[in-house]
Amino acid sequence: MSAANPPASQKSPLVPPPDATDPVRHPEAPAPGEPLGAHYDMCFGCGGGQPHGLHLAARAGEGVSVTAEFTVRTAHQGAPGLAHGGVLTSALDETLGSLSWLMHVIAVTGRLETDFLQPVPVDTLLHLEARATAVHGRKIYATATGRIGGPDGPVAVRADAVFIEVKVEHFIENGRQEEIRAAMDDPDQVRRARAFEVNP
Ligand SMILES: CCCCC/C=C\C/C=C\C/C=C\C/C=C\CCCC(=O)SCCNC(=O)CCNC(=O)[C@H](O)C(C)(C)COP(=O)(O)OP(=O)(O)OC[C@H]1O[C@@H](n2cnc3c(N)ncnc32)[C@H](O)[C@@H]1OP(=O)(O)O
């Protein structure tokens, strides 16, 4: 069996199939450098109203990419003075999720694989970047890095992911009614959710 044609059991779900296409930046995507804002005020990753959140601030990048910054706080420790790996993975997940703004597609994380290359101390400013690499049906393949010491510093964490496109109904049908009702009563929230959809 050649490496180029592995058996189905060895195919990685993180590698796009040969007939995958390039991701497309939506014509109405925010311009490069523009802040994306939060998709939901109570989101653990980006929500300004979430006291326990990461308060990640993402901006549109070139092509189908985004950048974001996240400061590791004492509440994010795993080992003394070092960031918890799950928190770093959450920051990567959120940055990858922000690609939705550029593609005008609502998508949820299906699979996410993180490499931890360097420990990340508390008070570190993590420079995150995510890029969509391929699309196949409802699957969006994407990759992300987190650098320390500056936007061009060494990569401390990286991740590959597959996001799956869903409709707004995914949240309405699966979310707890209390929060869904509050979100649907908030015109700004409905507008933000619909802004992700190509055909609102
Ligand atoms: C008006 C009120 C609304 C309020 C909403 C507010 C805001 C909404 C706006 C934006 C928010 C959007 C995202 C949030 C952004 C950032 C946060 C970070 C991202 C996250 O943190 S998000 C949470 C974690 N995430 C989940 O909570 C997902 C739980 N899960 C499911 O809900 C299902 O599992 C689902 C939907 C994923 C699939 O289910 P399904 O039935 O729709 O589709 P199906 O199974 O048919 O798969 C279709 C094709 O995807 C392939 N596929 C499926 N699963 C895969 C996997 N794991 N790995 C690789 N490929 C996979 C299949 O292989 C097939 O591929 P193929 O077509 O080639 O056969």
Question: How many Cβ atoms from other residues are within 10 Å of residue 20's Cβ?
Answer: 16
Which of 39, 163, 164 for a ligand 1 pocket mutation test, highest count of atoms within 8 Å of Cβ? 164
Task: Label residue 8 by pLDDT band (50, 70, 90).
Answer: low
Summarize pLDDT for 110-131 with one digit per residue, the tens. 999 999 999 999 999 999 999 9
* Predicted local distance difference test score (pLDDT) of residue 194: 77
Residues with CB under 6 A from ligand 1: 13, 39-40, 45, 93-94, 97, 100, 106, 108-111, 137-139, 162, 164, 166, 168, 171-172, 183-184, 189-190, 193, 196
DSSP string, 67-124: EEEEE--GGGBSSTTBB-HHHHHHHHHHHHHTHHHHHT--EEEEEEEEEE-S--BTT-
- Beta strands 107-116 and 57-60, pairing class: unpaired
CB burial string 141-176: b at 16+ within 10 A, e below: bbbbbbbbeeeeeeebbbbbbbbebbebeebeeeee
* Predicted local distance difference test score (pLDDT) of residue 146: 98
d(CA 7, CA 11): 7
Summarize pLDDT for 79-105 with one digit per residue, the tens. 999 999 999 999 999 999 999 999 999
Q: How far is the CA of 106 from the centre of ligand 1 (A)?
A: 9
Q: Which of 10-14, 45-49, 64-68 has the lowest mean pLDDT?
A: 10-14
* Predicted local distance difference test score (pLDDT) of residue 1: 45
* Predicted local distance difference test score (pLDDT) of residue 91: 98
* Predicted local distance difference test score (pLDDT) of residue 5: 62
In the predicted structure, residue 11 carries a pLDDT above the cut 90: no
Task: Label residue 3 by pLDDT band (50, 70, 90).
Answer: low
Across the range 23-34, mean pLDDT stands at 97
Tokens standing for 164?
């799956």
* Predicted local distance difference test score (pLDDT) of residue 168: 92
Summarize pLDDT for 120-174 with one digit per residue, the tens. 999 999 999 999 999 999 999 999 999 999 999 999 999 999 999 999 999 999 9
Q: How far is the CA of 136 from the centre of ligand 1 (A)?
A: 14
**Does domain 20-195 match CATH 3.10.129.10?**
yes
* Predicted local distance difference test score (pLDDT) of residue 200: 40
> How do the domains of the chain map onto residue ranges?
20-195
Q: How many CA atoms lie within 13 A of 62 on its CB side?
A: 0
Protein residue with least CA distance to atom 8, ligand 1: 193
